[in-house]
Amino acid sequence: MSVTRREMIKMTAAGFAAAALNIPFAGTSHASEDVVDVDKWIKGTCRFCGTGCGVYVGVKNGRVAAIRGNPQAATNFGFLCVKGFKGYMSMYHPDRLKYPLVRGADDKFKRVSWDEALNLVAKKFMELQQKHGKDAVAYYGSGQCMTEESYTFNKLWKGGFGSNMVDGNPRLCMASAVGGYVTTFGTDEPAGSYADIEKARTFFLVGSNLSECHPIIFRRVTRQKLSNPDNIKVIVCEPRLTSTARIADIWLPADPGTDLAVFHCMAREIVKNNWVDKWYIENLCRFTTGTQVVDFAAYTQFLEQFTPEAVEKLTRCPAANIVEAARLFATQGPTMSLWTMGLNQRTRGVWANNLVHNLHLITGNICKEGADSFSLTGQPNACGGVRETGSLSHLLPGTRPVANPAVREQVEKAWKIPAGKIDPKPGFHTMEMFAKLGAENDASKPLKGMFITTTNPAQSLPNCHKYHKGMKESFLVVADIFPTRTTQLADVILPAAFIYEKGGVYGCSERRSQLTSKCTDPPGEAKPDLWIAAQLAKRMGLEKLIPWNGDDPAANYKMAWDDYRECVKMTEHSLYGITYDRLLKMEEGLQWPCPDEKSPGTARRYVRGKDPIMDMPEIVKVPPQALIYFYADQKHEGRANVFLRPYKGPEEPPDKEYPFFLTTGRVIEQWHSGTMTMRVPEIARSQPNAYVEIHPSDAKQYGINNGDLVKMISRRGFNILPARVVKSSLPGILFVPWFDQDWDRMINRVTIDAFDDGSKQPEFKICAVRIERFGDPKDVADMTVISSVDTPFPSRA
Ligand code: SF4
């Protein structure tokens, strides 16, 4: 069936909700149109974004035949977006990788047995480690792996090899949110839950095109708005007039990378008009420059520079809108902020997160119903799988720093490894990893090998072609379900199982863990990543550390999960009470902290009577009289930091030579690099290729008409893209979605790889480009995918 984008959107439930607000679309639906007479329905979660929508997977004759939303799931109440109800179809695409492959001397891949492939990987990794040291081989994981898988690879590297060369793609999407929570509150992840959406009276949607990137959350926000349109207010801070911005009562169109000034200006208005919450300021806030604690008067003084008029000049955001946004934020609460990559993928990402938290702290809009400062995660298991298991180069399970000796000691005991085995020095973060990956004989490249799973860095890294040489010249092992730009550079390809072919736990943005049960077998000889990790461990003499290498995936995943629960039992991230048995029975999963099997989980942290950790002195010490207490405060005062961060703009603002801002993002139909969603014909036809959005005034100046090909050039590379001349992108700002695998439309050949000093997250969202008309309209709806492992990598830059 061929479905146009318009038809796809029209047939969805929130499409109607959006229509009521006179916005273009939301794209959600109650259930799959493919609901058929199936043999059984199996509970699980969607794997195509961080919302964590609950699904039922319909199985007929041993094959997945349909998906429907789980009406009892607390995340989505049965609603799904197009990826949720169509994305599974990619499982049966003929391009699926089915057998282990090893690159031969003729540069072609040849099929080998699992034993041959795993023995080769184990032998080569051990050789590299012996010759170049324990840190010569890295693991690069994904926010799409199951929690048990990320935990196991992390344990193998840090506990088995004694190497912290572990990182993953959440570094590219959520690291600044982690940095923001940790520096402000002392620990990662939000205080509240999605349920705050239905209690909020004002929404601050910032750096997020919610309607396309988190459509089910957008549906909840639009429903709340529609329930009382005059009194529920929506503020959107976003440089494009997106479909999200169209529901706004107040739109703050600040230029990319300038919003730090907007947040400080809002704080200034709040302080100036005495819209602050004095009790929060006196009892829960600590004002700090980052190096020095100051008082509220110093904060007030610091804010003085951010007058609405000065900020309008700097950001192009109307002063009156900022003032009104500040009033609504502070006086029409409870207020809930929601954000994603627009705040995180920045060289000042941590600071941007800090400044949004500031607004909540000074107005008392946190730790109350409907009030929260809430980062939405991009990937389905970036929170549960990578942040919480500590599968980044500087962390250990429980999102605790590897540099902390007490944390290392506790984890070494839990893992039953010798004291001192875990290296205190953090490994390389993602950008450093790929910069230092290279050939064995290249002395400038300390990383000689890498194991990559469930991600496609050859396409998803910023300024990606800079890193292709290192991937090609090192010993690269890639586990995935389809050929990708990254498998094109691999030495060994391992065929992996899809979520519904193995099962396991995902943890979504609201600290909620949910279990998916295995629904069907993987194709050919494809295997679960957990089995691959455990078999690799066995071949490297580490079977005792990771013994879950049997043939029963359910038993293996449960063993790994129980090992993880035990490891984080006595932490404020405890999910000891979240057992497989409970997850199997519960339709909506459980939110940590959940320290024992009687705990119902925690919807709101830091509040007495709501958060069990408040009454666990063996984990944190909270004064008995404290009703709200930020117990992870590093100074043990129960306060959160309100930062006086100086203003800094983007790394590469437009100039005479490169006069445009380029910003990138997702579209509702496509997931990340399009590896799976581009293989669902209905989705691919609906959104077949990337394009560049240009404002009509800019298009006119460059003689560009709708559909014309545009050459877009940055200091790093170029793309050739069809133009969409639309008013949603403001003059001087261009937008390109990033899913397209076509070499000429792979936008990460253009983006910048500068990164945030604190979080090490790159500034995908902002760089400077110039454009020129390249040619007449041409049909580029070619739905490009890398369809064969032997498709040669482009030789031109
Ligand atoms: S909103 Fe996210 S989790 Fe929910 S169905 Fe869509 S892609 Fe899946």
In 3D space, the residue among 629, 592, 554 whose CA is nearest the CA of residue 389 turns out to be 592
Judge if 432 and 488 occupy the same domain. Answer: yes
| Full residue range of the structural domain in which residue 82 is found | 31-92
Q: Which two tokens stand for residue 532?
A: 């691959």
- At 458-487, the pLDDT tens digits run 999 999 999 999 999 999 999 999 999 999
- Residue 720 clears pLDDT 80, i.e. is over it: yes
Judge if 201 and 350 occupy the same domain. Answer: yes
pLDDT of residue 157: 98
- Residue 31 clears pLDDT 60, i.e. is over it: no
Judge if 155 and 236 occupy the same domain. Answer: no
Q: Determine the Cα–Cα distance for residues 31 and 84; give it in Å rounded to an integer.
A: 9
In 3D space, the residue among 437, 418, 458 whose CA is nearest the CA of residue 128 turns out to be 437
- Atom 4 of ligand 1, residue of closest alpha carbon: 53
Judge if 190 and 307 occupy the same domain. Answer: yes
Domain assignment of residue 14, yes or no: no
54 is in an annotated binding site: no
- From the CB of 83, is ligand 1 less than 6 Å away? yes
Tokens 């627009």 identify what position?
Answer: 342
Atom from ligand 1 closest to the CA of residue 84 = 5
- Residue 7 clears pLDDT 90, i.e. is over it: no
Task: Output the furthest CA–CA distance in the chain (Å, rounded).
Answer: 73
Task: Write down which residue in 504, 521, 536 finishes a domain.
Answer: 536
Judge if 185 and 218 occupy the same domain. Answer: yes
- At 294-335, the pLDDT tens digits run 999 999 999 999 999 999 999 999 999 999 999 999 999 999
Number of domains in the chain: 4
Atom from ligand 1 closest to the CA of residue 508 = 3
Strands (E), 603-755: 640-643, 660-665, 692-694, 709-713, 718-725, 733-737
What CATH number has the domain bearing residue 83? 3.30.200.210
- Atom 8 of ligand 1, residue of closest alpha carbon: 84
Confidence of residue 454 (pLDDT cuts 50, 70, 90): very high
Judge if 135 and 200 occupy the same domain. Answer: no
Domain assignment of residue 601, yes or no: no
Confidence of residue 23 (pLDDT cuts 50, 70, 90): very low
Best of 30, 83, 89 for a ligand 1 pocket test (most atoms within 8 Å of beta carbon): 83
pLDDT of residue 33: 47
Judge if 163 and 193 occupy the same domain. Answer: no
Cα 221 to chain center, whole Å?
20
Does the N-terminal peptide bond of residue 334 adopt cis geometry, omega within 30 degrees of 0?
yes
- At 112-122, the pLDDT tens digits run 999 999 999 99
Length of the chain: 797
Neighbours of 295 (CB within 10 A): 10
Distance from Cα 727 to the centre of ligand 1, integer Å: 28
pLDDT of residue 474: 98
Q: Determine the Cα–Cα distance for residues 592 and 608; give it in Å rounded to an integer.
A: 15
- At 609-663, the pLDDT tens digits run 999 999 999 999 999 999 999 999 999 999 999 999 999 999 999 999 999 999 9
pLDDT of residue 36: 72
738 is in an annotated binding site: yes
Catalytic residue list contains 649 = no
Judge if 428 and 514 occupy the same domain. Answer: yes
Atom from ligand 1 closest to the CA of residue 76 = 4
In 3D space, the residue among 702, 703, 706 whose CA is nearest the CA of residue 721 turns out to be 706
Task: Provide the percentage of residues in the chain whose pLDDT is more than 70.
Answer: 96
- Residue 795 clears pLDDT 90, i.e. is over it: no
Residue type for position 329: F
Confidence of residue 414 (pLDDT cuts 50, 70, 90): very high
Residue 680 neighbours by CB under 8 Å, 6+ apart = 86, 87, 89, 90
Confidence of residue 767 (pLDDT cuts 50, 70, 90): very high
- Residue 419 clears pLDDT 50, i.e. is over it: yes
- At 331-358, the pLDDT tens digits run 999 999 999 999 999 999 999 999 999 9
Judge if 82 and 107 occupy the same domain. Answer: no
Can you spell out the DSSP letters for 555-587? HHHHHHHHHHHHHTTTSTT--TT--HHHHHH-T
Confidence of residue 15 (pLDDT cuts 50, 70, 90): very low
Catalytic residue list contains 174 = yes
Domain assignment of residue 700, yes or no: yes
What CATH number has the domain bearing residue 284? 3.40.228.10
- Residue 781 clears pLDDT 90, i.e. is over it: no
Catalytic residue list contains 341 = yes
Domain assignment of residue 222, yes or no: yes
Domain assignment of residue 643, yes or no: no
Task: Write down which residue in 343, 375, 407 finishes a domain.
Answer: 375
Can you spell out the DSSP letters for 311-351? HHHHH---HHHHHHHHHHHHHS-SEEEEE-HHHHSSTTHHH
pLDDT of residue 551: 85
Judge if 130 and 63 occupy the same domain. Answer: no
- Residue 16 clears pLDDT 60, i.e. is over it: no
Confidence of residue 729 (pLDDT cuts 50, 70, 90): confident
464 is in an annotated binding site: no
- Residue 14 clears pLDDT 50, i.e. is over it: no
Cα 162 to chain center, whole Å?
27
- At 661-671, the pLDDT tens digits run 999 999 999 99
Asked if 324 and 202 count as a contact pair (C-beta separation under 8 A), the reply is no
- At 572-598, the pLDDT tens digits run 999 999 999 999 999 999 999 999 999
Does the N-terminal peptide bond of residue 547 adopt cis geometry, omega within 30 degrees of 0?
no
Domain assignment of residue 218, yes or no: yes
pLDDT of residue 304: 98
Q: Are strands 590-591 and 692-694 parallel, antiparallel or unpaired?
A: unpaired
594 is in an annotated binding site: no
- Residue 1 clears pLDDT 80, i.e. is over it: no
Judge if 397 and 252 occupy the same domain. Answer: no
What CATH number has the domain bearing residue 768? 2.40.40.20
pLDDT of residue 28: 53
Q: What mean pLDDT is reported for the chain?
A: 95
Task: Write down which residue in 92, 116, 145 finishes a domain.
Answer: 92
Q: Determine the Cα–Cα distance for residues 197 and 726; give it in Å rounded to an integer.
A: 31
What CATH number has the domain bearing residue 431? 3.40.50.740
- At 371-391, the pLDDT tens digits run 999 999 999 999 999 999 999
- Atom 6 of ligand 1, residue of closest alpha carbon: 81
Catalytic residue among 50, 69, 78, 83: 83
Judge if 105 and 54 occupy the same domain. Answer: no
Buried b or exposed e, range 617-653, using 16+ CB within 10 angstroms: eebbebeeebebbbbbbeeeebbbbbbbbebebbbbe
